[in-house]
Structure 1
Amino acid sequence: MRLRFQKISLFFALLTLVLQTGCWDRNELENLAFVLTMGVDRSIDNQIDVIMRIAIPGNVAGPTGKTGGESISQTTKPITITARSIPEAVSLAEATVERRIDFRHLRVLIFGEEIAKEGILPHLDVLERFPQFRRSVYVWVAKEGPARNVFLTAEPVLEKSVSRYVDDVARGVIRYGYSRMPTLHDFLNEVDNRQSDAVLPIVGVNPIVSSEKKDSSIKPMPTDKYHQEIAGNTEPGGKTLRALPRSGGNPSEFLGIAVLQEGRLIDKWSGWDARIYGLLRDSYRGGIWVFNTPNGNETFSVIIRRARGPSITVTWDGDVPHIDIRLFLEGQLMNVQSQESYVSTEGIAILESQAINTITKEVDALIRRAQKEKTDPFYLARSIQTQSLTMQEFDNLDWKNRFSNASFTVQADFKIRRPGLRIQSRSDESR
């Protein structure tokens, strides 16, 4: 009996060894090449250029107490493969890189403007299917050129790690509102929504700063030459799609958003437009706004924050909608360039009225621009979703065509809550 029990125990012990997982499919870090960023451009002969920036493990983080490499070019290496698709480019890259390509640490995918106009959904299919691509990846669109230019010129001011650089950019966009930083998951959800269109951030390459880049470092040009370069650029930075008038720093700049319909680029909006978009889409959280004073000769600056979400009400006149939009904002006075005495009940009201008039005009202009394109990236139809009995009824609303003919009114409630540390102007103090 005892011998039989020992045999049974031995059998189950051997059985557990068979059922245990082995290490035949192990992934050793020493055998992997991690792709941190990737770009896709239209190439010749109807092919695509796939640009991958691969991490150099020994240089990403240096010894304790020391920084890693001196620049991104020393912590990563770019490689460009021309192929018919992203999977084919990956397989061809395997023949040139010593280790197996791995995308589990990919942080951003950049599309060139040309291929974005053709449509990016066919190239995103692999990201939806292949499990190594996470839906937390950011998706950007290169402005007026290929994504490869962004890869070759990017030179962050502080960060040496590509991953931290991308995350810092995303946080900066939230702080100042000049763009929007949706993830792949957010973008695909917006594409699948029949009643709205998607947006992606625009990343541009500043030509002045790019010309200052020499051997992985930026050497600012002399003042006289810099002033010659920016001559004629009279519009405030961010108001148009033009590059910022600046010297030094990172050649890459994140101002504006790309509007995509069914995954195809149809319009580009400036940094100022992106803030208005954020107010309507309820993605705006805060930023510095500069307005002209009532006399028009000087400016005043306000940190404007979202007080609460916008109120959007849609009523119908037959098949034509009328949209009532009300924005709720609050601010902190940051600067009064004229040094006039505005810190009083009457003075603050004057500044608030000036800001409200400017914001409502910009909202009006952007909505009319969207109506001409028959696009609604603001998702204004979200206010009537609860009025539909079923999702099928809501999906069949044909909102974009109806929105193009809609009438609308815009109101903004804006209060300056804090005047800053200086209560009175210098002229009042000297009296």
Structure 2
Amino acid sequence: MRRAVAASALLFAIFPLLAGCWDKNELTNWGYVQAAAIDRAPDGRIRLTTQIYKPGSPEAQTAGAAKSGSFLNLTNVSDTVSEAAAQISGRLGRNLQWSHMRALLLSEDFARNRSIGDVLDFFSRSQGPRGSTSVFIATGEAGSFLEIKPLIESTIGQQLKTVEQTTGSQLGTANRLTLLDLSIMAETPSPTADLIPRIELSNGKPILALINGLSVLRFPEGTISDPIPLSLAPYVLMLRGQFKGGIIQMPCRGQSGKPNGKSDAFLVTSARSRTSVSSRKGEPAIRILLKMKGKASEFNCSRTTSEQENRAFLNRLRQEVKTGLEESMALIRARKADVIHAGEYAQRRHPRLWKSWSEDWAEAFSRSGFEADIRIMMTDTGMDAGEPFVVPPSPDKK
């Protein structure tokens, strides 16, 4: 009997500790931020735009494409992100919850004229934002991107995240840069550079947010410079070891040797690269070993029905990749932007050489030599044989 009474008393003492909402933080107290945009106001201050999800809206409860009714945008201008966020919270009547934020957009004007450290300090100190939040550079006003309707996802923040992932894996023209990556870069003792996906709004209808290049971000300045054009983005990512896959097009040429408006296409399914740095006559010499696997995606002027034709096709593909790599290296060397992190390799592997280059690595990088070793394996030519669907007439036949 005594044991039963003691057990009952113990249970009654434990019950209050098992309550789930002991701190009274109900879901209705929070406004869940799905995306945020930073612009530079006319007076130079920070303009913060937040997109907040409305879970109780009819649009949020349907399985179809989301409408603007499933979220709302609130904006405030202040000297700091903290004050702007607090003002938005006061207008909303709920505390802002940043843990669900999918994307952070920085306008190109802001990132060129102010250090992004001015806004990253808030997100790195707050417990809410995830380190995996994707960061973008927006052409024009960043806040205007939050006004467009997502195609499939619930919010444009999630839409941008999936666009970034798909563009990187299917086209090979986008990398991923997160808040955590930026925090690590900001703590790097030596000057460094990295790439941020650059987005723009389409002209047609529906209005879409498209990735149209890569912006170069420099630390410790914390500002961006001229972007990498979309045509060279895949090759820059190959140099960085971030190329996941995509289509490489090879222009077809007529008898005159000029492009005839057609192209062959090769689908890269996997790619790996390795960078090494040595010294040649006192200057850095950068060597890239690039290994790719893939398959023929489309033939319009080539055949691979024999070993000789297969070898000729791969040589042509190798030359196309080599040209792209050389043009990309020439561009980043001219801009003195070591976005391939060759300096970090030299610092780790060759500390003595790095000591002689470190005083002005940007200048040394601009004078560096470059060599690429490209190895490509074609696994198959698809369902059809290795020739075009419509076989072009042989030049020997009239």
User: Is residue 278 of structure 2 the alignment partner of residue 283 of structure 1?
Assistant: no
TM-superposed CA distance for 1:149, in Å, is 2.1
User: Is residue 247 of structure 2 the alignment partner of residue 264 of structure 1?
Assistant: no
Describe how 1:233-248 pairs up with structure 2 within 5 A.
Answer: none
TM-score, normalising length: structure 2? 0.84
When residues 348 and 165 of structure 1 are mapped into structure 2, their CA distance, relative to the original with a 3 A threshold, is same
User: Is residue 153 of structure 2 the alignment partner of residue 159 of structure 1?
Assistant: yes
Describe how 1:115-194 pairs up with structure 2 within 5 A.
Answer: 115-117=110-112, 118-143=114-139, 145-152=140-147, 154-162=148-156, 164-175=158-169, 176-193=171-188, 194=190
- Counterpart for residue 310 of structure 1: 273
When residues 274 and 59 of structure 1 are mapped into structure 2, their CA distance, relative to the original with a 3 A threshold, is farther
- C-alpha distance in 2, partners of 1:73/1:113? 25
- C-alpha distance in 2, partners of 1:150/1:164? 12
When residues 364 and 33 of structure 1 are mapped into structure 2, their CA distance, relative to the original with a 3 A threshold, is same
- Counterpart for residue 209 of structure 2: 252
User: Is residue 284 of structure 2 the alignment partner of residue 324 of structure 1?
Assistant: no
- C-alpha distance in 1, partners of 2:319/2:374? 9
**For 2:76, which of 56, 73, 81 is the aligned residue?**
81
Q: Provide structure 1 residue ranges, at least 5 long, that are not aligned to the other structure.
A: 1-8, 213-217, 219-249
Describe how 1:193-212 pairs up with structure 2 within 5 A.
Answer: 193=188, 194=190, 196-206=192-202, 208-209=203-204, 212=205
Would you say how many aligned residue pairs link Structure 1 and Structure 2? 382
When residues 394 and 197 of structure 1 are mapped into structure 2, their CA distance, relative to the original with a 3 A threshold, is farther
Q: State the AA in 2 paired with 1:114.
A: D
- C-alpha distance in 2, partners of 1:22/1:71? 32
**For 2:232, which of 273, 289, 292 is the aligned residue?**
273
- C-alpha distance in 2, partners of 1:306/1:179? 15
- C-alpha distance in 2, partners of 1:329/1:12? 66
% same residue: 20
Q: State the AA in 1 paired with 2:175.
A: R
Deviations 1:283-328 (A, max 9, x none): 1110012111254322101102334x32322221354111122211
- Counterpart for residue 232 of structure 1: none
Deviations 1:219-257 (A, max 9, x none): xxxxxxxxxxxxxxxxxxxxxxxxxxxxxxx42101211
TM-superposed CA distance for 1:273, in Å, is 1.9
Secondary structure class of the residue paired with 2:33: strand
Contact 2:124 2:183 (C-alpha < 8 Å) held by counterparts: no
TM-superposed CA distance for 1:97, in Å, is 0.8
When residues 364 and 78 of structure 1 are mapped into structure 2, their CA distance, relative to the original with a 3 A threshold, is same
- Counterpart for residue 246 of structure 1: none
When residues 335 and 14 of structure 1 are mapped into structure 2, their CA distance, relative to the original with a 3 A threshold, is closer
Contact 1:174 1:285 (C-alpha < 8 Å) held by counterparts: yes
- Counterpart for residue 33 of structure 1: 31
TM-score, normalising length: structure 1? 0.78
Secondary structure class of the residue paired with 1:58: coil
- C-alpha distance in 2, partners of 1:398/1:27? 53
Secondary structure class of the residue paired with 2:31: strand
- C-alpha distance in 2, partners of 1:350/1:326? 21
Deviations 1:101-124 (A, max 9, x none): 221211111001111102211111
Q: State the AA in 1 paired with 2:267.
A: I
Deviations 1:376-425 (A, max 9, x none): 011123443442569x9799575333211111122322232211111044
Q: Provide structure 2 residue ranges, at least 5 long, that are not aligned to the other structure.
A: 1-6, 394-398
Contact 1:34 1:101 (C-alpha < 8 Å) held by counterparts: yes
**For 2:46, which of 45, 48, 59 is the aligned residue?**
48
Q: State the AA in 1 paired with 2:289.
A: R
Q: State the AA in 1 paired with 2:180.
A: H
Q: State the AA in 2 paired with 1:174.
A: G
TM-superposed CA distance for 1:170, in Å, is 3.2
Contact 2:60 2:70 (C-alpha < 8 Å) held by counterparts: no
Q: State the AA in 2 paired with 1:37.
A: A
When residues 94 and 157 of structure 1 are mapped into structure 2, their CA distance, relative to the original with a 3 A threshold, is closer
Deviations 1:114-161 (A, max 9, x none): 111022111110011111122111111002x11022122x33322234
**For 1:343, which of 305, 324, 332 is the aligned residue?**
305
Higher share in strand: 2
- Counterpart for residue 263 of structure 2: 299
- Counterpart for residue 361 of structure 2: 399
Contact 1:187 1:198 (C-alpha < 8 Å) held by counterparts: no
CA-atom RMSD in angstroms: 3.4
Contact 1:356 1:412 (C-alpha < 8 Å) held by counterparts: yes
TM-superposed CA distance for 1:14, in Å, is 11
Q: State the AA in 2 paired with 1:41.
A: D
- C-alpha distance in 1, partners of 2:364/2:280? 11
